[in-house]
Amino acid sequence: MRPRKSGYLFVAPYVVLLLVAGIYPMGYTLTLALTSFTAHFSGVTNFVKTWQNPTFLPAVGHICLFLVIWLTALVVLVVGLSLMLHSLDHRIGAAYRFLFYLPAALAGSASVMLWLFMLQPGLSPWSFVLNWFGLSTLGAVLAGGHLAAIFAVIAFWSGAGSWIVVMHGALATIPTEVLELAKVDGAGPWRTALTIKLPLIRRWIGYMLIGAFAAGTQLFAEPQLISEATGGVLNQTWSPNQVAYNLSFHLGNFNYAAAVSVDLLAVALLSAVIILRRSGLFALDT
């Protein structure tokens, strides 16, 4: 690679869009968060006010519960399924992967719509499971205490497939010699999976966890659509993003909404920095 100023021309269009649709919105939001309604600098007032808002802390609590369930499911089930698929014949594994990936093809609201049907006793093919839990109406299913788990199920259904594909890529980097040596040494498929494959994809699992964490904190579509399904009576501010959305659209307070948005953005940026520095997954050499 030689020093060439023409590089600027190649990256220019991208940089322009980066500024317009990436940097500027973040900067503008930060500015809004730090100023008052009358455009005076107000420091951390907006942040404090929103943290004191009665909907904010419960929303944070909801998201934490959701994250615990979801991330556990991701680590256990995605890694478990990926390891199982990896031990299968190449084409069978590919067929399963395609099947697991299929739900990711649905438009965000389509997944929730589909699951609303899945959760309606009487209509759902899973009715027998719902009845086994003693739930005979949709209202009973959507009771407040269940929501974190329900959203985790929906998010898992839509997202696990993509992560399984990523794990597949990770497992593919394991040199076949290593696996063959293990076989020669007498290790069965379970032992190979647990003691050899698993440690080698550690970095990728870490990346998945942090990435899913950052994405999970942003949860919006699922709770918002459930809220719509109840005629907007319930759960309008279940997740922090909904709180922010509510603040801007229903209360017209963009400064408060910006403050909540900055909170979430900070979490996302922190996660990004952690992945960048700790995972060693990214090629930054010249």
Partner 1 sequence: MRGPAGQLLMYGVLTIAGAFFAVPIVWALGEAVGVTAVHWLLNSLMYSGGGVVLAVGLCVPAGYGLATHDFPGRRPLLILTILLMLIPPSALVLPLFLEANAAHLLSSPLALILPYGLFPFGVYLTYLYFHNARFGALLESARIDGCNEWQAFRQVAVPLSLPVSALIVFLNFIASWTNFFLPWVMYWSFDAINRYPLALGIALQLRNSQTTGFYTAGLQLHTSSPPGQVALLVLVSGAPVVVVLVLAQRWIGSGQLGGMFR
Asked if residues 132 and 216 have their Cβ atoms less than 8 Å apart, the reply is no
Question: Which residues inside 2-31 make contact with partner 1, applying CB under 8 A?
Answer: 2-11, 13-15, 17-18, 20-22, 24-26, 28-29
Q: Which is nearer to partner 1, 87 or 168 (CB)?
A: 168
Tell me which residue has tokens 């440690």.
199
Q: Which residues contact residue 164 at a Cβ distance below 8 angstroms, ignoring those fewer than 6 apart? A: 78, 81, 82, 85, 97, 100, 101
95 near partner 1, rule: CB under 8 A:
no
Cβ-based nearer residue to partner 1, 45 or 248: 248
Q: Does 56 bind partner 1 (CB under 8 A)?
A: no
240-259 residues near partner 1, rule: CB under 8 A: 241, 244-245, 248-249, 254, 257-258
User: What's the CA gap between 204 and 86, in Å, rounded?
Assistant: 15
Name the phi and psi angles at 53, rounded to 5.
-60, 130
Our finding on whether 131 is near partner 1 (CB under 8 A) is no
Span 144-173, contacts to partner 1 by CB under 8 A: 169-170, 172-173
Site for partner 1 in 265-284 (CB under 8 A): 265, 268-269, 271-273, 275-276, 281-284
Residue 181 interacts with partner 1 (CB under 8 A)? Answer: no
Tell whether residue 55 is a contact of partner 1 (CB under 8 A). no
CB of 7 to partner 1, least distance (A): 3
Q: Does 63 bind partner 1 (CB under 8 A)?
A: no
CA distance 241 to 173: 37
- Residue identified by tokens 């990435």 is 211
The residue within the footprint of partner 1, chosen from 45, 220, 236, 253 (CB under 8 A), is: 220
DSSP notation for 88-131:
S-HHHHHHHHHHHHGGGGS-HHHHHHHHHHHTSTTTSTTHHHHH
